[in-house]
Amino acid sequence: MYVCLCEAITDKQIRDVAKKYQVTSLKGLRQILPVGRECGKCLKQAREILDEECAIL
């Protein structure tokens, strides 16, 4: 499912980055993926997905 339509980033990409790079913050995620770079509407959902992934790690 697409989370960020502007940059065509999926929830799977966010989960994969969180796992691979042990990313726990939105700031860290954004250093790897350009999520939220345009309109920013996706940031809340990106944060929720990251939090879910961190809970699993």
By C-beta, is 29 or 42 nearer to ligand FES? 42
**Per the structure block, which two tokens stand in for 31?**
């250093």
The distance from CA 45 to its chain's CA centroid, rounded to whole angstroms, is: 8
Closest approach, Cβ 29 to ligand FES, in A, equals 12
4 vs 56: CA distance, rounded Å: 22
Contact footprint for ligand FES (CB under 6 A): 4-7, 35-42
Closest approach, Cβ 33 to ligand FES, in A, equals 10
CA-atom Rg of the chain in angstroms: 10
By C-beta, is 19 or 40 nearer to ligand FES? 40
